[in-house]
Structure 1
Amino acid sequence: MFGSPRHRVVGCLALLPVVAVAAVACAPAAATSPTPASMDPVAGIVVGDGAVDIQLWSDPSCPHCMSLDEAIGDQLADFVSDGTVTWTLHPMTYVSAKRGDTTDYSTRAAALLFGLAAAGETDAIAPLYGLIQRHQVTAEHSPSDEELLGYAADAGATSDLSTAITDDASLASAANDAWLGAPIPGTDQVVDHVPLLVIDGTVFEVHEDGTDAARFAAAVAEAASD
């Protein structure tokens, strides 16, 4: 995972009801930091400046998103760091409700990611995303706002993010609403489940069969050589 784990495609389906948690299938940063109000919810959170374009639609409450992060998160972070890729994260927020989570973890965590981006701390986005995925809501516990802010500090954030979870909740919801059910440009895919990973315009099939990491590295290498 960031900062740390058919031919069947899995995902958190957007349109089907869920009866149990187990059934949930689940432009580069500006020189001056944007304010949350000026951020484009469709554009997402952009990290890095490499030639290979990677777009990820993911939800902080999706178990399959956590599994994908465990498989490829470290690789993706390395590709960003070494200048190979530009990574755009599109945080989604609908899975909390589908899993029966009344604490709105998806929206709160996504808002914090947007707040961190608005503060210009893009170096902390990848490790914070990894911590958010690793600490998903369980039957016993849902991370509080204070715990989320602690994850940001652990990820290296130094900005005052104390109001980000509240201030950027509407931005997080707007991003979710803008993308859910919308087509991904250049592909035949619509955003109807998460995770969705697109590498240079090609949808990457998430199998969760132990092959994702190797296939991801190969796909990035191929895109980089084109």
Structure 2
Amino acid sequence: MTNRPEGDARAARNERREAARQRAQRARTQQKRRQRGVRLGLQIGIGVVLLAAATIVTLVLVDSVKPAGPGPSTMSQGGITIGQDMKAVSGSAPASPSATASDGAGTVRITLYVDYLCPTCGQFEEANGDYIESLVDSGAATVDIHPVAILANRSQGTKYSLRAANAAACVAEHSPDRFYAVNKALFANQPEEGTAGLTDAELTKVVTGVSGLQDRRAIERCIADQDYSKWVDERTNAVAGGDIPGSSITEFPGTPLVLVNGQQYELTSPITNDDFRTFVVTAAGASEPTATPTATATPTPTASRTPSPSPTKR
């Protein structure tokens, strides 16, 4: 066996240790680089997430404070006025009429605040809609209709009240002379409170199915894009807070709110046309407004009226 000098063995060991040390150093350097890369990636990722979250929060805040924008040109105070021949009247309802104010010589002003999901509103429309139409069509009265969305949270999250009121506002803007007919159609197809209500497609079909409607495509786009939903929501909040144009009332009693020459009509149970006709006579000054008789017209009531218990308003 050949014996290597001791110095050569020591040198070989030193070389191996040095090589091992260099390998270990390279491994540590690579590990540090990987760790720095991971940290940098995490920092970038966190930064992106935070930036995205900040952007979303900013957009939500901006959207929440974004003005609702103007409502329909025919509803400057939240309601549309319908006059003789069922045509929209230029301008809007007066902000605060006196208790005996009328719209013109002997013309009765009827004001309605309605929610298209409100069952009591539907009952009032069924009992009195044709009667009001006969008065307005003949020129004996005008009617101001204010769609609100008091029951927006009573339709399984679909906000049917808001969507229906938006659809009505779309008609007020694009086909105002057919507003009353659309108002009747919405109540004729009224879903039950607590259900999901009509889909947008079904709602559009009801509205655009009304004969004589103008600019159907504009109305369809308006309904699909919810052009007036923010405005309806803003007006609903204002009304609920006591801003009630067409009335001296400062506390909203619920829907339907019915006014005749500024006087509030207290609903009866059941809701009847006879009782409402009597109230109209009283509010008009004990003189029956002259209107074209309808097939369901009842004899002219006297000016006296016996109060009846009011149903719970919604």
Q: TM-score, normalised by structure 2?
A: 0.54
Distance 1:105 1:127, change over 3 A: same
1:60 aligns with 2:116: yes
* Matched-pair contact (CA < 8 Å) for 1:44–1:175: no
Q: Which has the higher contact order (CA 8 A, sep 6+)?
A: 1
1:208 aligns with 2:283: no
1:170 aligns with 2:205: no
Q: SS at the partner of 1:162?
A: helix
Higher-Rg structure is 2
How is 1:1-226 mapped onto 2 (pairs within 5 angstroms)? 36=71, 38=73, 40=75, 42-48=77-83, 51-97=107-153, 99-122=154-177, 124-138=178-192, 142-156=197-211, 157-160=213-216, 161-165=219-223, 166-182=226-242, 184=244, 186-188=247-249, 190-210=251-271, 212-222=272-282, 223=284, 225=287
* Matched-pair contact (CA < 8 Å) for 1:54–1:197: yes
Q: SS at the partner of 1:90?
A: strand
Larger strand percent? 1
Q: SS at the partner of 1:60?
A: coil
Which consecutive unaligned segments of at least 5 residues does structure 1 have? 1-34
Inter-partner Cα distance in structure 1 for 2:126 and 2:264: 19
Matched letter for residue 229 of structure 2: A
* Matched-pair contact (CA < 8 Å) for 1:68–1:208: no
Question: Please, what is the CA RMSD of the aligned residues?
Answer: 2.5
Matched letter for residue 54 of structure 1: I
* Matched-pair contact (CA < 8 Å) for 1:42–1:179: no
Displacement after TM superposition at 1:47 (Å): 1.1
Distance 1:194 1:164, change over 3 A: same
- Residue in 2 that maps onto 1:5: none
Once the two structures are overlaid, the 10-residue window that deviates more, 132-141 or 54-63, is 132-141
Once the two structures are overlaid, the 10-residue window that deviates more, 150-159 or 191-200, is 150-159
Distance 1:187 1:106, change over 3 A: same
Aligned length: 189
* Matched-pair contact (CA < 8 Å) for 1:41–1:174: no
Displacement after TM superposition at 1:136 (Å): 2.7
Which consecutive unaligned segments of at least 5 residues does structure 2 have? 1-69, 85-102, 289-314
4+ residue segments displaced more than 6 Å: none
Inter-partner Cα distance in structure 2 for 1:46 and 1:109: 19
Identity of aligned residues (%): 24
